[in-house]
């Protein structure tokens, strides 16, 4: 696949090879290594024209840390933040301090029991994965094409 994409976009226009890691799924084998990742290739049309919103696509924080307020607030200096309640305390996470995304994305696959998202398409991707890809590579109001015609998640 990488060679085909190099031909289409030019090998100088690859920006990243992203690993989508998932703990569950991929089978359980005793005769070969279990599959626990897929590869996402990010190419641009040319070296100088592309959109990268790394902080929008980065890991915001670990959900085990506490309960989130669910929306952003603005402090007296105009900085946006989100509150997290954990261990009886309230913590503020400022959006301008969030880290850029790494090239390994730990997003779980859609389980067979997740009836709210699953549509039984064999290669369906989780909405969180697609959301991260779209946020990282487009701006608010941009047009995003779905070349798979809504099969699966999109």
* CATH code, domain with 140: 3.40.50.150
Distance CA 75, CA 115 (A): 39
Percent of the chain with pLDDT over 70: 76
Give how far the C-alpha of residue 24 lies from the chain's centroid of Cα atoms, to the nearest Å: 17
Assign 100 a pLDDT band (cuts: 50, 70, 90). Answer: low
Specify whether the CB–CB gap between 85 and 66 falls below 8 A. yes
Q: Which is it for strands 67-68 and 37-43: parallel, antiparallel or unpaired?
A: unpaired
Residues 3 and 53 in one domain: yes
What are the tens digits of pLDDT across the range 3-17?
999 999 999 999 999
> Are 93 and 106 part of one and the same domain?
no
pLDDT tens digits, residue range 54-92? 766 665 544 344 444 456 788 899 888 888 887 888 888
Place of tokens 């064999």: 122
Residue-number span of the structural domain to which 106 is assigned: 1-57+101-154
Residues 22 and 1 in one domain: yes
pTM over 0.95: no
């Amino acid at each position: 696949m990488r060679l085909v994409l190099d031909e289409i976009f030019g090998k100088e226009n690859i920006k990243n090879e992203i690993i989508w890691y998932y703990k569950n799924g991929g089978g359980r084998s005793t005769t070969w290594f279990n599959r626990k990742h897929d590869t996402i290739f990010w190419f641009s049309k040319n070296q100088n024209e592309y959109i990268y919103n790394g902080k929008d696509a980065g890991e915001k924080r670990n959900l085990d840390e506490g309960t989130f307020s669910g929306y952003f607030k603005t402090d007296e200096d105009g900085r946006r933040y989100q509150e997290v309640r954990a261990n009886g305390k309230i913590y503020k996470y400022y959006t301008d301090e969030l880290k850029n995304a790494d090239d390994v994305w730990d997003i779980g696959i859609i389980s067979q029991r997740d009836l709210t998202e699953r549509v039984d398409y064999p290669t369906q991707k989780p909405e969180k994965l697609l959301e991260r890809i779209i946020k990282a590579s487009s701006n608010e109001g941009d047009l995003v094409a779905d070349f798979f015609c809504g099969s699966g998640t999109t």
